[in-house]
Chain A
Amino acid sequence: MVNIEIDGIPLSVDSSKMIIQAADEAGVDIPRFCYHKKLSVAANCRMCLVEVDGSRKALPACATLVSEGMQIRTQSKIARDAQRAVMEFLLINHPLDCPICDQGGECELQDMSMGYGAGVSRFSERKRVVPDKNIGPLIQTDMTRCIHCTRCVRFGQEIAGIKELGATGRGEHMEIGTYVEHSLVSELSGNIIDLCPVGALTSKPFRYKARAWEMTAHPSVAPHDAVGSNIEVHVRRNEVMRVVPRDNEDLNESWISDRDRFSYLGLNHPERCLKPLIKIQGQWQETDWQTALEYAVEGLKSVKAKNGADQIAGLISPTATTEEAYLFQKWLRGLGTDNIDHRLRQQDFADDACDYSLQDWDLSALSRSDAIVMLGCSVRSEQPIIAHRIRQANLRGAAVFDINFVRHELFMPDVHQHAVSPKAMMQMLSGIVKSLLPLAKDIDTSDWLPLLPDRSPTAAEQNVAMQLSNADESVILLGELLEQHPQGAKFRKLVSLICRLTGAKLVWLPTANSVGHWQAGAIPRPKASEAVPLNALSMWQQSCRAYVLFNVEPELDCINPSLAMSSLQHASFVVQINNFVTEQMQSYADVILPLAAFTETSGTFISINKEWQTFTGAVAAKGDSRPGWKILRVLGNLSRLSDFEYVSSEEVLSTLKTELRIQPHGEQQTYLPEDLLLDKGLTYISEVPSYRCDPLVRRSIALQQTPEMQDLTTVKIHPELAEKLSLQDGQQVLLSQNDQQHALELRLDETIAHDCVYLPATTSVSARLGAGMTGVEIKSAGSLT
């Protein structure tokens, strides 16, 4: 600690701090453009020049370390003159087109020029003009306005991990750009919009839509991944105009993913459901809420009377709020069914009674971990903010292993990647356990010994084992593809054995708000006396008579689209509560209730850190749509259930919290798989692309135009597999699964694991297929067999 004085205020600050950090903490304002607390110091804008006693010239506050006895003046003549002079230089080439600039009103340069700029420019020469660059569907460029602070360049290099923007040319000819025009590929790219202090980089979908001062800001929480990034929803005249991040050091720091930033564009999609709809004698008609709700309740009652309550099944999207999940299960349980689930893509429920809750783990542990292992986890698309945290850990020296069925570019400096088939992954995990067994002194592994292969572990397996056991803190992250696997429980139990042997933490990455859904009880809870309730898979396999779907599009969101659709077609009554209405829905549903989106309802998302983040609605529900908790409350009333008199979502939340206090979760059980064998043959790798994960994201047009979302309907296999099957790149192939054949185009791709057939899920093509992560066959479409 050193003692300094800023503008006469005595301060005691850490000696590693720069003047600007000390000033920020003390609330002394120093103007700046290039400095950003989360980026490296560039000191190239010179706006933060301050006077330091004993120095001949003004010094940049962002790049000058504090030292004992330092006297700093930010308002002295030397400092003000220096800042004014810098401002004059910055404005030489700046177009001053504020009236037609999207940044106008929230522009750092505009604000600073009010404080430090001269009223009249002394520069009468021509200003330079820089051509704009097309860097994709999300970010608009106006490069003439750029003042070369290089925040965007440093963001790419330091945070996103991929340097796509750079400063080419020299002096007056310097330009920020990509040199060869292309779309940015980072999943965090939208953050450069916030970082840019001028209007050079602005939001493309938001362009010319609203002025900063016309909008009101509403704090909210993003629903698309488990992080629960804190966001601010900007609203004008009851319309969501844009979404920007809200700082939260424990979760999203200063960033949000492009998915969280641009998903709001789906709110006004033409498919948005605005009126309650009911099907009467095969004809869809708009109706009022009362009729629709009564129709729904009557329909379910008659199924209950005819077929029994256990013929009713309910599925809820994990993007729903905790309150919605709670009321959903309370209502259905009130009707007498326990067939309730939110784990739309899970296939193996054998270890249901095991406890995977993340009790003593949160995101801050990632930055302390020395070893991080990802299994079946495409972390950049599933959990972009967690990917950023892992990257920072990797930069700090943590060993990172990415064991997946496809090798994705991770933009991490030193990561061990293995693209393996499910079978090979199981072998690898077994090998890791084998190399750990000599260390197992106090841990009883006798149950497992017969299951493990009789071979010595490979060098790669030993490496993972060694890194995990040597680490002070380590973590194994289970991703979505592993969750989807029909023998997922075998993987999970083997991984939890590794964790017991090494002290690593097992983190089964939650999908969206699934932590909240577990708390709210949106899962089938077996009761000793009754039949086993149906889970998200068996309710399709058993083909129930009635389904209640809450913001679920089964042909896209469920693991087995063709099975789900045939069960729905055979059901006698289907209630769909959704933000949107599609032809598909109209083909199977009987009632469609318009649901308010997350910006239009109050509720709570529980983050991966187990933080209960309650938010309020930013805008009124669109059309006749209503917040989910209100719809479910009235459904409960109409079903004549007691304790359904909630008048606010807070009331729902406090009931849930009381219930959680009274009845803690059931006792934890253990589960041991009988064997570690998997099916032979090829596996259909049904990965969910990043911008297809829920109904709202799928309808954000700008996100769908990104390069990652192109080419989602071709099958990809490894060239060596293609050679074995004598298939060529670009040819038509037949993908066969359960006697069904689908003709698709083939691409050869070295990033796909051997014995795997990669085809993204949640597309119109995958909607016709059966279960993901199961066996498939592939052959040339030309052969007639």
Chain B
Amino acid sequence: MTEMQVTGPAEQLFNEQLRYRLDNWIAKYPVNQTQSALIPCMHLIQDANGGWLSDDLLKALAVYLDLPFISVMEVATFYTMFELSPVGQHKISVCTNISCQLCGSEAIVEHLQQRLGVTLGETTADGKFTLKEVECLGACCGAPMLLLDKQYHEFLTPEKVDELLEGIK
């Protein structure tokens, strides 16, 4: 995780490397429509900050994009893909919405909880995994499914989940 500047003038926030990538996204939208770049910018900052966004980082982003802080928070609190507190090295998001539920997501959740020794919303003691429940991720045709970091895994069975977790070093 690289050191990031969160206070001071807008042109010095974060770090040079990150600013370059944020600016890249901002440039894709018309002038004065920085709000459009908000979600990609939050992804970049979240990735650079070990998978989560602190209030200070979001405040800095609001300054950087010249948006009201509350507008940034509206988006950050709406989407399950943004974490507002520290998470483990890998994030497992299990869909428990209607299609997945009908196809047995409850058993998948149960199995994950037992195997990892945590309940939904918690992080394993070794800090390796965070398990969370999410709403529909739009992969109903492959239900039940989960999202491991940025990869979809479909047609899950407890065995398939074991295989998946063992594949992670």
Q: Does B33 contact A (CB under 8 A)?
A: no
Distance of A166 Cα from B77 Cα, bound (Å): 11
Which residues in chain A, 369-405, are within 8 Å of chain B measured between CB atoms? Answer: none
> Closest approach, in angstroms, between the C-beta of A168 and any C-beta of chain B?
4
Q: A162-B68, A163-B70, A165-B70 are in contact. Are A180 and B55 (CB under 8 A)?
A: yes
For chain B, residues 71 to 100, give those with C-beta under 8 angstroms from any C-beta of chain A: 71, 73-74, 77-80
Q: In the complex, are the beta carbons of A166 and B78 less than 8 A apart?
A: no
Enumerate chain A residues within 8 angstroms of B135, measured Cβ to Cβ.
171
Give the nearest-CB partner of A169 in chain B: B77
Q: Tell me which of B68, B73, B80 contacts A168 (CB under 8 A).
A: B73
Check A179–B70 contact: CB distance below 8 A: yes
In the complex, whether A694 has a CB less than 8 A from a CB of chain B is no
A201 smallest CB distance to B (angstroms): 16
Cβ distance A205 to chain B, nearest Cβ, rounded Å: 25
Q: Once bound together, how far apart are the Cα atoms of A171 and B77, in whole Å?
A: 11
Interchain CB contact (< 8 A) of A166 among B68, B79, B80: B68
Q: What is the bound-complex CA distance between A171 and B74, given in angstroms?
A: 12
For A169, list chain B residues within 8 Å (CB). 77-78
Total A residues in contact with B, Cβ cutoff 8 Å = 14
Q: Are B78 and A170 in contact (CB under 8 A)?
A: yes
A168 contacts B55, CB within 8 Å? no
Q: Is B25 located at the chain interface by the 8 A CB criterion?
A: no
A167 CB-CB contact with B under 8 Å: yes
Tell me, rounded to whole Å, the shortest Cβ–Cβ distance linking A20 to chain B. 26
A144 within 8 A of B: no
Interface centre among B71, B78, B79, by most chain A C-beta atoms within 10 angstroms, is B78
Interface residues of B in 111-169 (CB under 8 A from A): 135
User: Does B78 contact A179, Cβ atoms closer than 8 Å?
Assistant: no
Give Cα A166 to B70, complex, Å: 6
State whether A163 touches B68 (Cβ < 8 A): yes
Complex CA distance for A170 and B79, rounded to whole angstroms: 8
Q: Among residues 144 to 163 in chain A, which have CB atoms less than 8 Å away from a CB atom of chain B?
A: 157, 162-163
Contact status B77-A163, CB under 8 Å: no
A168 near B71 with CB under 8 A, answer no
A394 shortest CB reach to chain B, Å: 14
Task: Report B48-63 residues with CB < 8 Å from chain A CB.
Answer: 55
Contacts of B80 in A (CB 8 A): 170
Q: Does A232 contact B (CB under 8 A)?
A: no
Chain A 167-186 per-residue mask, 1 if CB under 8 angstroms from chain B, else 0 = 11111000000111000000
Within 8 A of B (CB), among A290-332: none
Closest CB-CB distance, A546 to chain B, in whole Å?
Answer: 56
A341 at the binding interface (Cβ < 8 Å): no
In the complex, whether A164 has a CB less than 8 A from a CB of chain B is: yes
Docked CA distance A298–B169 (Å): 100
Q: Return the CB mask of A6-24 against B: 1 if under 8 Å, else 0.
A: 0000000000000000000
Q: Which residues of A contact B74 (CB under 8 A)?
A: 166-168
Decide if B68 touches A179 in the complex (CB within 8 Å). Answer: no
Chosen A-B contacts, 20 in total, with CB atoms closer than 8 Å, are A157-B68, A162-B68, A163-B68, A166-B68, A166-B70, A166-B71, A166-B73, A166-B74, A167-B74, A168-B70, A168-B73, A168-B74, A168-B77, A170-B77, A170-B78, A170-B80, A178-B70, A179-B69, A179-B70, A179-B73
- Give the top 3 A-B pairs by smallest Cβ distance, nearest first: A166-B70, A163-B68, A168-B77
List residues of A whose CB falls within 8 A of some B CB: 157, 162-171, 178-180
Other A-B contacts than A178-B70, A179-B77, 18 sampled, CB-CB below 8 A, are: A157-B68, A163-B68, A163-B71, A164-B68, A164-B70, A165-B70, A166-B73, A168-B70, A168-B73, A168-B74, A168-B77, A169-B77, A170-B77, A170-B78, A170-B79, A170-B80, A171-B135, A179-B73
